[in-house]
Chains A and B, each alone.
Chain A
Amino acid sequence: MTDDEMIQGVIEGNASAFDEFYTSTKAHVERVASFFVGDEDSMPAVVVGGYKRAFDQLALGKKPDIPLRSWLSILTVQEAFHVLKDMRISYDSQTKAMEAVAGQVPMLQEITQDPKERVAYMVRGDIDDMPEPHRAIMMMYEIEGLSLLELSKRINCSWCGAVSKLMMARQVLVKRVKEQFGL
């Protein structure tokens, strides 16, 4: 069955076309989703959501005007983007929380007024005492200055997986600082 026949069969509600559509594309959709949310709990939801988008559009009679797998890639990334965006928002709010904690440390208040510099000093002061693998991740991101994309490449992890590990390492650091200074 060709791609066009599968798409036409799905539009007509043919059960065998649905089966063929899914079995022939699921490995591709899984691969696309794993780049972004590979080792996260939300990955099944992303794959299912991608297929839901595809079936919804085909139910309306909208045939893709690009190759089937490229079209499914777009739909899967659109579905994964919600997870990425939520993670970005959590990451940004955690950054602000770290700056707030660093601003409460008296020693750092004397050193500089820049909140980002305070965070950098705070990280350098406690990073050696952090447990692995949090220390390695904090080293790569805060000391070496890798971006989130480079971090995911370095630890061979999906984008969400890298951000998730970085946020966990930051939590460990903040907890140590709060315990040290009684915040």
Chain B
Amino acid sequence: MIELNVDEINALARVFLTGRGREEQLQQAQEVVEEDPQFPLELLAQMQSALDDVPPYGFTREQWKIVDQRVSALYATRVRRHFFNPIAWLLGLFKSAPKPATTAGAEAEPKRRWRGAAAPVEDVSSSTSGDGIEDMAPISAVPTQVKSAPVVTRRPIKIPWGLIKALLAVTLLVLVGWFVTPWIKAYFAKPAPQEPAPPPQPKGPPRRAAPASAPNDEPLPAEIAPQDPRSAGALTVDGQPAPTWVPTPLGRRASAPTRKP
């Protein structure tokens, strides 16, 4: 790293700007400008003093548009997208505004005075100790109204912002919980037990029922055996369907089919 003192930096900047330097000095300036921040500032200072601190030209409106677009494109790639963070938002609700820092020597910020409140008048009579004549204020300095009038101060309304914010936060949490709980329950609920699947139906063409006068005495398969009409639920009485119980508003009553005499 090249280290130059202030005079050398001044001389190098002057040589460069006047165009009287040699190639070695140009090379040295190129190295120093990136390493020593004093050199660019010196170049700028010499240009400012040469031009009486008035720059010759600035950008036109069209040039500004181009530059604005290019710089915007430059930092658009560096912007980080922040998603909404409810915790940070909630914490921010309780964050109080920063108080202005007061230095040791500086006076503190005067307290806010409300409109309509009279400024308290200082009691000058008590400022002297009364021990000697030198401590007494001149007569012209003593106000005619020694005691101040009773000051009517309006009591400021204190808005409980903390309580309001807490209520808001709790309300928000409740609402969020109210909306989110069903989804959470549905997500963690156990799936309902499924009914066993019906036995697979035999494939192929349906079989024909065997004739009633089958010569053999072997029992017919259940599929084609004549079923008991009672078990099939199709009871008949004289060829008519059996009476069934039909609920009526007055109670259960058999709806008997009309019988032929």
Which A residues form the contact surface with B (CB < 8 A)? 10, 12-15, 18, 22, 26, 30-32, 34-36, 38-39, 43-44, 47-48, 51-52, 55, 59, 66, 70, 73-74, 77-78, 81, 84-85, 88-89, 91-92, 147-150, 152-153, 156-159, 161, 163
Contacts and interface: CB of A to CB of B under 8 A. Distances in A.
B34 interface: yes
A77 B43 contact: yes
Q: Which of A91, A153, A157 has the largest count of B CB atoms less than 10 A from its CB?
A: A153
Contact of B44 (A18, A39, A73): A73
B71 interface: yes
A55 B74 contact: yes
6 contacts: A39-B57, A51-B75, A73-B41, A77-B44, A149-B18, A157-B56
B230 to A, nearest CB: 83
A169 to B, nearest CB: 14
Nearest to B80: A13
Interface residues of B, number: 40
B40 A44 contact: no
A34 B58 contact: yes
B164 to A, nearest CB: 27
B19 A18 contact: no
A55 B75 contact: yes
Contacts, number: 127
Nearest to B59: A30
A13 B51 contact: no
B236 to A, nearest CB: 86
B79 A14 contact: yes
B46 A48 contact: no
Interface of B: 14, 16-20, 23, 26, 29-30, 33-34, 37, 40-41, 43-44, 46-48, 50-52, 55-59, 63, 66-68, 70-72, 74-75, 78-80
Q: Would you call the interface of chain A mostly helix, strand, loop, or mixed?
A: helix
A91 to B, nearest CB: 7
A152 B40 contact: no
Given A38-B56, A163-B19, 9 more contacts: A35-B51, A38-B57, A47-B59, A55-B75, A81-B29, A84-B16, A85-B29, A147-B20, A152-B51
A74 B50 CA distance: 18
A59 B77 CA distance: 11
A156 B56 contact: yes
Contacts of B78: 10, 13, 18, 55, 59
Contacts of B52: 153
Give the top 7 A-B pairs by smallest Cβ distance, nearest first.
A13-B80, A77-B40, A147-B18, A148-B19, A34-B55, A38-B57, A35-B47
A35 B46 CA distance: 10
A10 B71 CA distance: 14
A18 to B, nearest CB: 4
Given A52-B74, A74-B40, A34 B19 contact: no
Given A22-B71, A44-B67, A74-B40, A148 B18 contact: yes
Contacts of A73: 40-41, 44
B58 to A, nearest CB: 5
A29 to B, nearest CB: 9
Contact of B41 (A74, A85, A150, A163): A74
Given A77-B43, A81-B43, A34 B57 contact: yes
B40 A34 contact: no
Nearest to A154: B50
B254 to A, nearest CB: 83
Nearest to A52: B74
A10 B80 CA distance: 10
